[in-house]
């Protein structure tokens, strides 16, 4: 029986419809406490993260043993310069990673995996990513967002038995969601999965498929049309990458991460057994978002690795390089950059380790913490890389190969800057992360007052919501007036003789959390239904929360290290300077909540789009080539060769 010929095209959706699709996909309930959620509500629940959770002894033993093997492999068999030069990870390196078990770090031992905790999985990614960021991306895309994680969380036992042993040792996976004209707006997803007996027939084109060029198994998001017996909606499938009708049409090339196998994949009449569907029809986006709750931690983990490497290079270089009779590190302008790199690396590691350990213990809901870690790690990691290039000066701009050719140490600072740039875009761009986190941050408000500002709700619902909101705010608002942050003796366990006083920073976090919650309430009262359009305001709210979370994590980690006798004094110093730097940023963000150029910026944008300022574009030549802004993604057979190349 052939597949129906009327393949659905990309749906036309309004902005409101797109928001409704995204809202339906997010987790609606909070079944466990969340430190970050409470923080945005003005409640500083230090008890949720302090004392710092610690891993089990057996998890540490197994994790450290694997890190030792991985380090030896990376030092002896990985040539990062070769990967950069040839824009490809050698097959023998990939096969070596398979033999090492690196494909199965997060897969349970009963399926042939290593069964590492989130903490040690992240440490492994940071280590591998420091040897070659492309290897870090390969392993992360395979395990954090590829087939293993959604199967672990939502797959049937039959699916786990069939696929996880392969994924643990031999098969590479990829995650296929993005399309040429669909990024963070999945409501317009065009790839179709048409039911046909006990199969689905896939047609469509997927873009930016990290690992897609070499993958053996794919997790594909496709739209099932609604029909009799089929609920329809965006649905997740496990697909064999060598299935008839799948063509990898192109291997993409980028400014950084040159070794990643990222491509364009076309599906034409691809038959997938219904048994390969993950979860029910229509649950694809929820599966993707839930998978990312912890999957997002892999990216900031690799940012931690970049911070550690940048600190090493900054220390060695700025001590050796002299200007005006002194090492450059002794000049205040350079010293401030080194201090920023050291303090921020400490804080990033604190954020990632704390979030990862909470994920392992499964006591808290960490969806906001993981999102904040991704947002903060990608932004701060980029700044750290940029500062390292500046510290290195002209040598920071020069390639490692050129440095080596003229007899100097081959430091790939400019490569790291290029490699790091994508982190602010993929797995949720900074702008999308701002909106995603802001939605979770105002969830409590929308639950009690959302119907008041919803234009589609009848008056009876608005009246009921008004009564509920009045009760909620009558209890909540008075608690934002004062708190432990105004009591000098609060958080006294962080006031240790001979160490910087971290209790003052925690009191600042507590006061700022209440101020943040008041600011959010004032904004909702002022803008009501228009609040969702105030993206810059929401972004600043989230950035303040990210800084407060990082300050809290840094202090808790410092005390954890001190109590364990592990560099406690130095950790307190780093936490102190980080918190002082963060407080400066927080105060600026609070000011910019209400004193900014958002309104006039919108008027300028209107002028740019209407052509008012085209005269400003005169006097240059556009070196861009010809062609459409967005490639044609019309379903149909492939026109070129298949560049898919599974690694064996």
List the catalytic residues: 427
Bridge partners for 222 per DSSP: 235
Distance of CA 252 to the CA centre of its chain: 21
Helix H or strand E encompassing 174:
strand 173-176
Distances (CA, A) of 376 to 300, 303, 340, 434: 8, 10, 14, 11
Percent composition of the chain: helix, strand, coil (DSSP 3-state, to 5): 60, 10, 30
Long-range contacts of residues 501-505, Cβ cutoff 8 Å, at least 24 apart? 501/576, 502/555, 502/558, 502/559, 502/572, 502/575, 502/576, 502/579, 505/551, 505/555, 505/575, 505/576, 505/579, 505/580, 505/583
Convert 359-407 into a string of H (helix), E (strand) and C (coil): HHHCCCCCHHHHHHHHHHHHHHHHHHHHHHHHHHCHHHHCCHHHHHHCC
3 state DSSP class of 32: coil
Whether 579 and 380 have beta carbons less than 8 Å apart is answered as: no
Distances (CA, A) of 181 to 212, 255, 267, 626: 18, 21, 16, 18
Which of 636, 525, 587 is CA-nearest to residue 202? 636
Which of 87, 125, 134 is CA-nearest to residue 103? 125
94 — phi, psi (to 5°)? -60, -45
Rounded CA separation 542/5 (Å): 46
DSSP label at 4? P
Bridge partners for 326 per DSSP: 323
3 state DSSP class of 253: coil
Which of 342, 344, 343, 316 is CA-nearest to residue 329? 316
DSSP label at 250? E
Rounded CA separation 554/579 (Å): 8
Which of 356, 238, 381, 206 is CA-nearest to residue 293? 356
CA angle at residue 567 from 300 to 560, to 5 degrees? 65
Rounded CA separation 5/554 (Å): 58
């Amino acid at each position: 029986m052939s597949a129906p010929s009327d393949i659905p095209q990309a749906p036309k959706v309004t902005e409101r419809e797109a928001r409704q699709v995204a809202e339906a996909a997010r987790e609606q309930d909070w079944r466990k406490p969340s430190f970050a959620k409470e923080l945005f509500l003005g409640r500083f629940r230090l008890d949720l993260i302090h004392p710092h959770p610690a891993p089990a002894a057996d998890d540490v033993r197994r994790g450290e043993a694997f890190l030792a093997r991985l380090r030896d492999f990376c030092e002896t068999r990985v040539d990062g310069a070769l990967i950069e030069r040839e824009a490809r990870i050698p097959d023998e390196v990939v096969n070596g990673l398979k033999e090492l078990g690196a494909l199965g770090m997060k897969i349970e031992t009963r399926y042939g995996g290593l069964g590492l905790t989130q903490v040690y999985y992240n440490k492994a990614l940071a280590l591998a990513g420091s040897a070659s960021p492309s290897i870090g991306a390969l392993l992360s895309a395979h395990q954090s967002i590829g087939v293993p994680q959604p199967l672990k969380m939502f797959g049937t036992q039959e699916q786990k038995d069939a696929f996880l042993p392969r994924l643990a040792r031999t098969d590479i996976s990829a995650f296929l969601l993005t399309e040429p004209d669909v990024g963070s707006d999945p409501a317009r997803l065009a790839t179709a999965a048409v039911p046909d007996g006990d199969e689905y027939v896939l047609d469509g084109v997927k873009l930016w498929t990290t690992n897609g060029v070499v993958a053996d198994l794919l997790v594909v998001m496709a739209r099932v049309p609604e029909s009799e017996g089929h609920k329809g909606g965006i649905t997740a499938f496990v697909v064999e990458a060598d299935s008839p009708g799948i063509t990898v049409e192109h291997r993409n090339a980028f400014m950084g991460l040159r070794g990643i196998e990222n491509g364009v994949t076309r599906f034409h009449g691809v038959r997938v057994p219904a048994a390969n569907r993950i979860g029910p029809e229509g649950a694809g986006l929820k599966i993707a978002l839930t998978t990312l709750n912890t999957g997002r931690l892999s990216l900031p983990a690799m940012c931690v690795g970049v911070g550690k490497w940048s600190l090493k290079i900054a220390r060695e270089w700025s001590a050796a390089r002299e200007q005006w009779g002194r090492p450059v590190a002794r000049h205040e302008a350079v010293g401030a950059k080194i201090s920023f790199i050291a303090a921020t690396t400490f804080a990033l590691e604190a954020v990632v380790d704390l979030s990862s350990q909470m994920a392992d213990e499964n006591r808290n809901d960490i969806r906001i913490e993981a999102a904040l870690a991704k947002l903060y790690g990608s932004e701060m990691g980029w700044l750290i890389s940029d500062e390292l290039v500046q510290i290195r000066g002209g040598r920071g701009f020069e390639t490692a190969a050129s440095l080596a050719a003229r007899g100097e140490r081959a430091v790939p600072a400019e490569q790291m800057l290029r490699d790091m740039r994508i982190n602010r875009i993929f797995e949720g761009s900074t702008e999308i992360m701002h909106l995603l986190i802001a939605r979770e941050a105002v969830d409590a408000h929308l639950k009690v007052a959302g119907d008041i500002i919803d234009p589609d709700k009848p008056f009876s619902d608005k009246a009921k919501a008004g009564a509920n909101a009045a009760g909620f705010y009558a209890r909540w608002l008075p608690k934002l007036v004062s708190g432990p942050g105004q009591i000098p003796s609060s958080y006294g366990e962080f006031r240790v003789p001979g160490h910087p006083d971290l209790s003052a920073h925690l009191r600042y976090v507590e006061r700022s959390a209440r101020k943040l919650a008041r600011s959010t309430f004032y904004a909702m009262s002022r803008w009501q239904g228009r609040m969702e359009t105030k993206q810059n305001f929401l972004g600043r709210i989230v950035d303040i929360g990210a800084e407060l979370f990082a300050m809290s994590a840094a202090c808790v980690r410092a005390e954890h290290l001190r109590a364990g006798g592990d560099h406690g004094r130095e950790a307190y110093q780093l936490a102190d300077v980080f918190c002082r730097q963060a407080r400066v940023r927080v105060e600026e963000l609070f000011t910019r909540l209400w004193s900014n150029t958002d309104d006039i910026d919108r008027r300028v944008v209107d002028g740019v789009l209407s052509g008012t300022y085209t005269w400003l574009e005169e006097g240059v030549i556009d070196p861009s080539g010809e062609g459409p802004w967005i490639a044609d993604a019309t379903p149909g057979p492939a026109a070129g060769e298949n560049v898919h190349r599974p690694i064996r």
